[in-house]
Amino acid sequence: MLDVSDLSVSYGTIRAVRGISFTLGKGELVSLLGANGAGKSSTLKCIAGALKASGGSITLGGKDITSASPEQVVRAGLATVPETRDVFPDLTVAENLMLGAYIHRRDQAGNRQNLERLHTLFPRLAERSHQPAGTLSGGEQQMLVIARALMSRPTVLLLDEPSLGLAPAIVERIFEMIETLKKSGLTILLVEQNVNQALAVADRAYVMRLGTVVTSGTPDEIRATSDLSAHYLGG
């Protein structure tokens, strides 16, 4: 579904991502792990079209999206939830959601149907439909940005640190929701510092360190790598 091959990303002379390769099969949930500064967010931003690759290639469903713009990437079927969790605070929850349907703006019936599906998945958002998004709690805002990304009807979803800064009970709910999305057939790339939880939901994982992939495998294989927590995950 998603193939990242020998991808490099640089900020001037800083080489944040140094020739990494990984794949996501259809319906797979793959976690990208690693300590702060390992290059996870840069990888996601590059896939999303927000950063230019300095080398390598990215294909989505066989289509080359290496140099695609953010809008072209969304149209190709890939949506991203950045770690910044930015909602439009003065717009209502419903208005925020409709912005996610931008590429389908002529298909009102399809958008309504998708919105109903998302309201079932996120009942809290349905209850708060007419409330300004800025008044939602952190957890609710995280739900909103995920639901907004799903309004573009992606086949692949990239999630950057969805649990960041949230209370444990909320984190639990977010991970339950990620599992529900996986069961619905969505292909998901999950960037997380919350290693145990990320491995609990993943089919496979890749561990990054200083811009390279140092380990990959099933959650059991990753857990069995004894020096993982000490060297790559910050203890």
Give the C-alpha separation, 189 to 45, whole Å.
Answer: 12
Question: Per CB under 6 A, does 162 bind ligand ATP?
Answer: no
Is 40 a residue that touches ligand ATP (CB under 6 A)?
Answer: yes
Q: Which is nearer to ligand ATP, 14 or 109 (CB)?
A: 14
Binding of ligand ATP at residue 41 (CB under 6 A)?
A: yes
Structure tokens at 9: 């990303």
Q: Does 39 bind ligand ATP (CB under 6 A)?
A: yes
Helix ranges (DSSP H) in 51-194: 70-75, 93-99, 108-121, 123-127, 138-150, 168-183
What residues contact 72, with CB distance under 8 A and at least 6 apart?
Answer: 49, 65
Site for ligand ATP in 18-37 (CB under 6 A): 34, 36-37
Task: Please report whether residue 13 would count as binding ligand ATP according to CB under 6 A.
Answer: no
| Binding flag, residue 11, ligand ATP (CB under 6 A) | yes
Instruction: Write out the two tokens for 88.
Output: 């439009």
Q: Give the max Cα distance, the chain.
A: 53
Q: Which is nearer to ligand ATP, 14 or 169 (CB)?
A: 14
Structure tokens at 123: 């009942």
Q: Which of 1, 16, 149, 205 binds ligand ATP (CB under 6 A)?
A: 16
Residue 207 in the binding site for ligand ATP (CB under 6 A): no
Q: How many Å apart are CA 218 and CA 97, to the nearest integer?
A: 34
- Rule CB under 6 A: which residues touch ligand ATP? 11, 14, 16, 34, 36-42
